[in-house]
Amino acid sequence: MFGLVIGDWTPFSIDTVRLMMTMFDRDMSGTIDFQEFAGLWRYIEDWKKCFRTFDRDNSGSIDRSELLSALTAFGFRISQQVVDILVKKIDTLDDVKSKTGRGDIGFDRFIYACVTVKTLSDSFRNLDTNNDGWIELNYDSFLMMSISNKI
Protein backbone atom coordinates (compact mmCIF):
# COMPACT_ATOMS: atom_id res chain seq x y z
CA MET A 1 0.00 0.00 0.00
CA PHE A 2 2.89 2.33 0.60
CA GLY A 3 3.67 1.94 -3.11
CA LEU A 4 0.68 4.17 -3.82
CA VAL A 5 1.64 7.78 -4.25
CA ILE A 6 -0.18 11.00 -4.92
CA GLY A 7 0.26 12.60 -8.36
CA ASP A 8 3.33 14.57 -7.19
CA TRP A 9 5.04 11.35 -5.98
CA THR A 10 4.50 12.03 -2.28
CA PRO A 11 3.17 9.00 -0.39
CA PHE A 12 -0.31 8.95 1.09
CA SER A 13 -0.48 9.70 4.81
CA ILE A 14 -0.74 6.74 7.15
CA ASP A 15 -4.24 7.88 8.20
CA THR A 16 -5.46 7.77 4.60
CA VAL A 17 -3.76 4.42 3.96
CA ARG A 18 -5.47 2.92 7.03
CA LEU A 19 -8.88 4.16 5.92
CA MET A 20 -8.41 2.85 2.38
CA MET A 21 -7.22 -0.52 3.72
CA THR A 22 -10.29 -0.77 5.94
CA MET A 23 -12.55 0.11 3.05
CA PHE A 24 -11.04 -2.31 0.50
CA ASP A 25 -9.99 -5.25 2.70
CA ARG A 26 -13.25 -7.08 1.97
CA ASP A 27 -12.17 -10.38 3.52
CA MET A 28 -10.88 -8.60 6.68
CA SER A 29 -7.48 -10.30 6.35
CA GLY A 30 -5.48 -7.17 7.20
CA THR A 31 -4.06 -7.11 3.68
CA ILE A 32 -5.51 -6.50 0.26
CA ASP A 33 -5.23 -9.04 -2.52
CA PHE A 34 -4.99 -8.27 -6.23
CA GLN A 35 -8.76 -7.99 -6.71
CA GLU A 36 -9.09 -5.66 -3.72
CA PHE A 37 -6.13 -3.60 -4.94
CA ALA A 38 -7.67 -3.30 -8.41
CA GLY A 39 -10.86 -1.96 -6.81
CA LEU A 40 -8.83 0.49 -4.73
CA TRP A 41 -6.91 1.66 -7.81
CA ARG A 42 -10.13 2.32 -9.75
CA TYR A 43 -11.55 4.23 -6.81
CA ILE A 44 -8.42 6.39 -6.51
CA GLU A 45 -8.61 7.17 -10.22
CA ASP A 46 -12.26 8.24 -9.78
CA TRP A 47 -11.24 10.41 -6.83
CA LYS A 48 -8.48 12.02 -8.94
CA LYS A 49 -10.96 12.92 -11.69
CA CYS A 50 -13.42 14.31 -9.18
CA PHE A 51 -10.71 16.25 -7.31
CA ARG A 52 -9.37 17.79 -10.53
CA THR A 53 -12.90 18.80 -11.51
CA PHE A 54 -13.35 20.72 -8.26
CA ASP A 55 -9.80 22.12 -8.07
CA ARG A 56 -10.75 24.77 -10.62
CA ASP A 57 -7.62 26.91 -10.16
CA ASN A 58 -5.26 23.88 -10.30
CA SER A 59 -3.81 24.89 -6.93
CA GLY A 60 -3.68 21.32 -5.65
CA SER A 61 -6.32 22.00 -3.02
CA ILE A 62 -10.05 22.52 -2.72
CA ASP A 63 -11.98 24.63 -0.23
CA ARG A 64 -14.97 23.72 1.95
CA SER A 65 -17.66 24.62 -0.57
CA GLU A 66 -15.84 22.71 -3.31
CA LEU A 67 -15.57 19.72 -0.97
CA LEU A 68 -19.31 19.84 -0.38
CA SER A 69 -19.90 19.97 -4.14
CA ALA A 70 -17.50 17.07 -4.71
CA LEU A 71 -19.12 14.89 -2.04
CA THR A 72 -22.52 15.72 -3.51
CA ALA A 73 -21.22 14.67 -6.94
CA PHE A 74 -20.16 11.37 -5.33
CA GLY A 75 -23.77 10.86 -4.27
CA PHE A 76 -23.60 11.90 -0.62
CA ARG A 77 -26.27 14.26 0.68
CA ILE A 78 -24.56 16.06 3.53
CA SER A 79 -24.80 19.55 4.97
CA GLN A 80 -22.22 22.32 5.03
CA GLN A 81 -22.07 21.83 8.82
CA VAL A 82 -20.91 18.22 8.34
CA VAL A 83 -18.26 19.40 5.87
CA ASP A 84 -17.10 22.04 8.37
CA ILE A 85 -16.69 19.38 11.10
CA LEU A 86 -14.94 17.05 8.65
CA VAL A 87 -12.45 19.75 7.62
CA LYS A 88 -11.87 20.64 11.28
CA LYS A 89 -11.13 16.95 11.96
CA ILE A 90 -8.73 16.84 9.01
CA ASP A 91 -6.96 19.99 10.23
CA THR A 92 -6.28 18.34 13.61
CA LEU A 93 -4.36 15.45 12.03
CA ASP A 94 -0.72 16.11 12.83
CA ASP A 95 1.03 15.07 9.61
CA VAL A 96 -0.82 17.34 7.15
CA LYS A 97 -2.29 20.73 8.03
CA SER A 98 -4.39 22.83 5.69
CA LYS A 99 -2.21 24.98 3.46
CA THR A 100 -3.92 28.26 4.16
CA GLY A 101 -5.59 27.78 7.52
CA ARG A 102 -8.94 28.30 5.78
CA GLY A 103 -9.72 24.63 5.46
CA ASP A 104 -8.35 24.04 1.97
CA ILE A 105 -7.42 20.38 1.56
CA GLY A 106 -5.11 18.56 -0.83
CA PHE A 107 -5.68 15.27 -2.65
CA ASP A 108 -4.57 13.03 0.22
CA ARG A 109 -7.01 14.64 2.65
CA PHE A 110 -9.69 14.73 -0.03
CA ILE A 111 -9.49 10.94 -0.18
CA TYR A 112 -9.51 10.82 3.63
CA ALA A 113 -12.70 12.92 3.65
CA CYS A 114 -14.37 10.80 0.94
CA VAL A 115 -13.51 7.50 2.63
CA THR A 116 -14.66 8.83 5.99
CA VAL A 117 -18.02 9.92 4.61
CA LYS A 118 -18.44 6.67 2.64
CA THR A 119 -17.56 4.46 5.62
CA LEU A 120 -19.90 6.30 7.95
CA SER A 121 -22.66 6.38 5.33
CA ASP A 122 -22.33 2.63 4.76
CA SER A 123 -22.56 2.01 8.52
CA PHE A 124 -25.65 4.20 8.70
CA ARG A 125 -27.29 2.48 5.72
CA ASN A 126 -26.73 -0.92 7.32
CA LEU A 127 -28.79 0.25 10.29
CA ASP A 128 -31.39 2.17 8.26
CA THR A 129 -33.31 -0.97 7.32
CA ASN A 130 -36.36 0.84 5.91
CA ASN A 131 -34.26 3.48 4.04
CA ASP A 132 -36.07 6.45 5.56
CA GLY A 133 -32.92 8.32 6.65
CA TRP A 134 -33.50 7.67 10.35
CA ILE A 135 -32.00 5.15 12.75
CA GLU A 136 -32.41 4.55 16.44
CA LEU A 137 -29.29 3.71 18.41
CA ASN A 138 -28.78 2.91 22.02
CA TYR A 139 -25.53 3.97 23.63
CA ASP A 140 -23.90 0.55 23.22
CA SER A 141 -24.76 0.42 19.50
CA PHE A 142 -23.41 3.94 18.99
CA LEU A 143 -20.11 3.05 20.67
CA MET A 144 -19.74 -0.18 18.69
CA MET A 145 -20.42 1.61 15.40
CA SER A 146 -18.03 4.45 16.26
CA ILE A 147 -15.22 2.20 17.42
CA SER A 148 -15.55 -0.14 14.45
CA ASN A 149 -15.20 2.84 12.08
CA LYS A 150 -12.01 3.97 13.92
CA ILE A 151 -12.36 7.58 12.89
- Please name each of the domains of the chain with its CATH number: 14-149 (1.10.238.10)
Q: What's the whole-model pTM score?
A: 0.72
Question: What would the mean pLDDT of 103-119 be, rounded to a whole number?
Answer: 86
What letter does residue 62 receive in the DSSP assignment? B
pLDDT tens digits for 70-109?
899 888 989 999 999 888 888 776 444 444 455 788 888 8
Residue 149 has what pLDDT? 65
The answer to whether 108 and 12 are in contact (CB under 8 A) is yes
Cα gap 37→99, rounded to integer Å? 30
pLDDT in tens, 29-73: 777 888 888 888 888 888 888 888 988 888 888 988 899 998 998
How confident is the model at residue 6, as a pLDDT? 55
User: Is the predicted pLDDT of residue 150 greater than 60, yes or no?
Assistant: no
Asked if 22 and 150 count as a contact pair (C-beta separation under 8 A), the reply is yes
In terms of Cα–Cα distance, which of 66, 68, 71 is closest to 54?
A: 66
| 68 CB-near residues (< 8 Å, 6+ apart) | 78, 80, 83
